[in-house]
Amino acid sequence: MDESILVCVYYGPNGERLIRRGGKIANMLDCPFYVLTVDPLPEDELDIEKVHYIEQWKELAKEHGAKDFIIKYNETRPIAKVIGDVAKKNNITQLVLGQTAQSRWKEITKGSFINILLNEIPFVDLHIISVSRELKNREGFYEKGVRAYLQEDQSEYRLCFNHTANDVHEGIFYKEMGTDFNNGVFKFMKNNCMIEVQVVDDYVKDLEDQMKSVDNVNANKEFVKKD
């Protein structure tokens, strides 16, 4: 039987890990794989942090050769039902998802999500990837993203957390764990592209170069479309 893999991701730092694992399995089996995310909100009501995750996952899915990135907005159905429908539609044989943080008592009183899912798609093999419930303090990890702004300060841009009329860009700041100062990564959208810049002691120094890079990429895309 031909294999086909579906990776299910939700907002948080573990989505990347799941997509990479699904891509690796698909590569070993030489089969197509899909990425699915589900949200109860309409697309135009998503906050900027969720938009960031979606853009990041799209790029990663493309990088690993995913056949399709599937987003189900404004979903009121149970998650297991949505996953089941997508799995049936795409002839999925293997499912990759993260270990839930569901307590044992909740499993007893309301039923295990995995058991509910198996009832929906008994023909699918499950890969349950263990994930940490909290971000560990090690190199390369950041604290939970918070809304922040960039304000022009002479030739540099200063990070601030209060919205004012002088804001140049609005985005999400991810502070490096273990630092007392505002060091980390600031991410924001421009021309439908996610831009990521490094923040060092409250300041961004290479913003203009990154903006020019994004403008050049978009110009090339438009040129290709015209051809």
Can you tell me the mean pLDDT for 116-125? Answer: 89
Rounded to whole angstroms, how far apart are CA atoms 51 and 80? 23
Where do runs of H (alpha helix) occur along the chain? 15-29, 48-63, 79-89, 104-110, 113-120, 207-226
The angle at the Cα of 50, spanning 101 to 12, to the nearest 5 degrees, equals 30
Whether 181 is covered by a domain: the verdict is yes
The angle at the Cα of 202, spanning 199 to 206, to the nearest 5 degrees, equals 40
- On the question of pLDDT at 2 being above 90, the answer is no
Whether 202 is covered by a domain: the verdict is yes
Whether 140 is covered by a domain: the verdict is no
pLDDT in tens, 172-184: 998 887 677 888 8
**Pair (184, 89) in one structural domain:** no
**Pair (205, 93) in one structural domain:** no
**Pair (171, 105) in one structural domain:** no
Rounded to whole angstroms, how far apart are CA atoms 202 and 113? 43
**Pair (112, 203) in one structural domain:** no
- On the question of pLDDT at 5 being above 90, the answer is yes
pLDDT in tens, 182-195: 888 888 887 777 78
Domain count, the chain: 2
Question: Which stretch of DSSP H or E encloses residue 123?
Answer: none
Q: Looking at residue 40, which CATH number applies to its domain?
A: 3.40.50.620
Q: Is the pTM of this model over 0.85?
A: no
Would you tell me how many other CB atoms lie within 10 Å of the CB of residue 188? 22
Rounded to whole angstroms, how far apart are CA atoms 48 and 182? 20
Q: Are strands 167-175 and 94-98 parallel, antiparallel or unpaired?
A: unpaired
Computed from CA positions of residues 128, 134, 135, 138, in that sequence, does the dihedral angle turn out positive or negative?
Answer: negative
- Under the banding of pLDDT at 50, 70 and 90, the label for residue 135 is very low
**Pair (21, 124) in one structural domain:** yes
Residue 93 has a pLDDT of 95
- Under the banding of pLDDT at 50, 70 and 90, the label for residue 218 is very low
The side-by-side arrangement of strands in the sheet containing 68-72 is: 68-72, 33-38, 5-8, 94-98, 125-129
Rounded to whole angstroms, how far apart are CA atoms 141 and 227? 42
